[in-house]
Amino acid sequence: MKILCNFAVQRNEENWIFTNFYPRNCIYFAHSDEKCAKIRLRLTFMPIIRIALLASGSGTNAENIVRYFSGRKDVLISLIISNKPDAFVLKRAEKLGVPSVVMAKETLEHPDSLLAVLTEHKIDFIVLAGFLLKVPAEVIRSFPGRILNIHPALLPKHGGKGMYGNRVHEAVIHAGEKESGITIHLINEQYDEGAMVYQATCPVLPDDTPDVLAARIHLLEYEHYPRVIDETLKKVF
């Protein structure tokens, strides 16, 4: 969105200083057409998209996502939420300078509490990064098409309630699958049944253990999840 209009400004030796006030949570890039007290400006309006990451464990995906968007002026990782007070993702959040909140399972069962935190931090989009609890239906309805999840297998196979981490990889190996991978999808009110956004595959080798397969899957997650989040934001906003 570009706006062409006149604004009163003051100029010091190097910079133009705007005397009017702009809405919050937006960035304006100004380009002067002439050097005078009143100049004609072309303003490029860029809203800031604020993301909340929800994670339950170590947070390697969360850190990877934060680093991917670091320095971006249009996207901000505003908050990390965990349901476990001892989750290592909270230490990562502190190291990365991202605000974090612990919300126990009992608290998350009351969606008004989660919605209040998301509203307080002006969240526009939610990313699940190893979050083991079901997102309340009221939250899903409040963020339609704006909650993204990653699953460590090729849905619709090996998904559903209780299917996470090595449980998934054990099921893949036990089923004799020749390939596995990741599925990035929007969420709905059912486990792992939301609209698919992206899949990437990797081989399952005859001597794979769940840990070996998990390491191969993690590489796919690190490579693709931040990029797919970025592409999804461009479509949604």
pLDDT digits (tens, 9 = 90+) for 129-160: 999 999 999 999 999 999 999 999 999 999 99
SS3 helix, strand, coil % of the chain, rounded to 5?
30, 30, 40
Percent of the chain with pLDDT over 90: 78
Residues 194 and 77 in one domain: yes
Average pLDDT of the chain is 86
What secondary structure does DSSP assign to 115-144, as a single string?
A: HHHHHHTT--EEEESS--SPPPHHHHHHST
CA angle (21, 237, 125) in 5-degree steps: 95
Look up the pTM and report it. 0.82
Residues 65 and 34 in one domain: no
Tell which residue, 48, 118, 24, has the closest CA to residue 127.
Answer: 118
Residues 42 and 81 in one domain: no
Residues 41 and 55 in one domain: no
Residues 209 and 192 in one domain: yes
Domain range for 110: 49-236
Residues 65 and 126 in one domain: yes
Residues 181 and 231 in one domain: yes
Residues 135 and 203 in one domain: yes
Residues 69 and 39 in one domain: no
Total domains in the fold of the chain: 2
Tell which residue, 127, 120, 56, has the closest CA to residue 92.
Answer: 56
What secondary structure does DSSP assign to 10-28, as a single string?
A: EE-SS-EEE-S---TTEEE
Question: What residues act catalytically?
Answer: 151
Which run of H or of E encompasses 93? helix 88-96
Residues 189 and 142 in one domain: yes
